[in-house]
Amino acid sequence: MMALLPVGVAFLLSCAFTWAMWRGAQAWGTLDRPNERSAHQRPTPTLGGVGLVAGVWAGLAAGLLTGQLEPQVAWPLLAGSVPLLGSIRDDLGKPMNVAEKAVLILLAGAAWLWWGPHLEGLALPGGHHLELGLWGWPLTSLWLLALCNVYNFMDGIDGLSGLQAMGAGTWIALWTLDRAPSLAWVGLALMAASAGFLVFNFPPARIFMGDVGALCLGFWLAGLGVMGEQAGLPLWLMALPLGYYLFDTTYTLVRRLLRGENVLRAHNLHLYQRLTRAGWNHLQVDLGIALLILLLGGSGHAFLHDHPWAGALLLSAAVVILISATLWIEKKVPLD
């Protein structure tokens, strides 16, 4: 029954604050107006990420107040997300450049390293273990920086980032419920707050997440990965539900580098964006990626419970879908 508390608090507060941001953004004229890179057709309120963050914070606060959430888990997550609130400037229509956002993420990483754990080693498939030594500090910072950016890059169509956070939070909660209950509490809070936000962001979206929501979700999921490694759950396992986001970002980055493009310049060349140009609507793309989250998370669940053949089968199915979809998109929506 206690597991219902973070779910209820995070969901209700996320709904309430997102609704308040929706009404406020309309009154203040804080709207994302379509341009040549946009996937939407009409001006849409921003600041939805503020409501999502408020929901997660409320879920964490409930855990602290009831003693169900360990302070050493909560404080790094809370402290690290505070600098990221500075990205609200971008959501208010005052664009921030790459360097300014990087500074905010690095400050968040510094707060994490002050309050929380760093990667001391990495558990590898097959029972192997890689000791990181002093490299653990910069690699932890790099992981936090990378996943913040991955999440920000991939937040481009209605419902996608909220759905990804829901899926990842659910799988993480399931895996950590018996092994690290505090991490399960955080996973449930992320899942529920994302669901509350999706009430307003589900296609067709009434409000967008913006940088505040995307950066915080990336940071929290990266942090859960670090804490999971410390609790005996490999980082690669904790990252499996994010497999599509990691694949799309890496593939698109490498492809742009090979084409000699400026990778720091904003674009709409991610696979999911090209899929919408091929005629898929946002809901169809979301459902396709939801299937990948289910397969990737299911493979991790099988590996965790010593069913390697089932895990390999589910992972192989996800890989086949990813590769097939990528080849189809390259043929259907060529960049040249």
Confidence at 242, pLDDT banded by 50, 70, 90: very high
Q: Determine the pLDDT at residue 233.
A: 95
Could you give the angle at the alpha carbon of 175 between the alpha carbons of 154 and 216, nearest 5°? 30
Q: Determine the pLDDT at residue 324.
A: 97
Q: Could you tell me which residues come within 8 angstroms of residue 99 by beta carbon, excluding any fewer than 6 positions away? A: none
Nearest Cα residue to 308 out of 177, 69, 127: 127
Q: Could you tell me which residues come within 8 angstroms of residue 86 by beta carbon, excluding any fewer than 6 positions away? A: 104
Q: Determine the pLDDT at residue 162.
A: 96
Is the distance from CB of 21 to CB of 51 less than 8 angstroms?
yes
Which tokens sit at 325?
């979809």
Q: What is the pLDDT of residues 12-43, one digit of tens each?
A: 999 999 999 999 988 888 887 766 665 656 78
Lowest-confidence segment of 43-47, 134-138, 234-238, 281-285 by average pLDDT: 43-47
Q: Determine the pLDDT at residue 37.
A: 62
Q: Could you tell me which residues come within 8 angstroms of residue 60 by beta carbon, excluding any fewer than 6 positions away? A: 6, 69, 74, 77, 78, 185, 186, 189
Is the distance from CB of 124 to CB of 132 less than 8 angstroms?
no
Residue 70, CB half-sphere, CA atoms under 13 Å: how many? 10
Residue 127 has pLDDT above 90, yes or no: no
Residue 60 has pLDDT above 90, yes or no: yes
Q: What is the largest CA-CA distance in the chain?
A: 57
Q: Determine the pLDDT at residue 1.
A: 52
Residue 267 has pLDDT above 90, yes or no: no
Q: What is the mean pLDDT of residues 298-308?
A: 96
Task: Round to whole Å and give the CA distance between 205 and 48.
Answer: 10
Task: Round to whole Å and give the CA distance between 208 and 202.
Answer: 10
Q: Determine the pLDDT at residue 7.
A: 83
Q: What is the mean pLDDT of residues 299-314?
A: 96
Task: Round to whole Å and give the CA distance between 286 and 145.
Answer: 25
Confidence at 101, pLDDT banded by 50, 70, 90: very high
Q: Determine the pLDDT at residue 38.
A: 58
Q: Determine the pLDDT at residue 27.
A: 87
The whole-model pTM stands at 0.95
Radius of gyration, alpha carbons of the chain: 19
Task: Round to whole Å and give the CA distance between 97 and 86.
Answer: 13
Q: Determine the pLDDT at residue 6.
A: 73
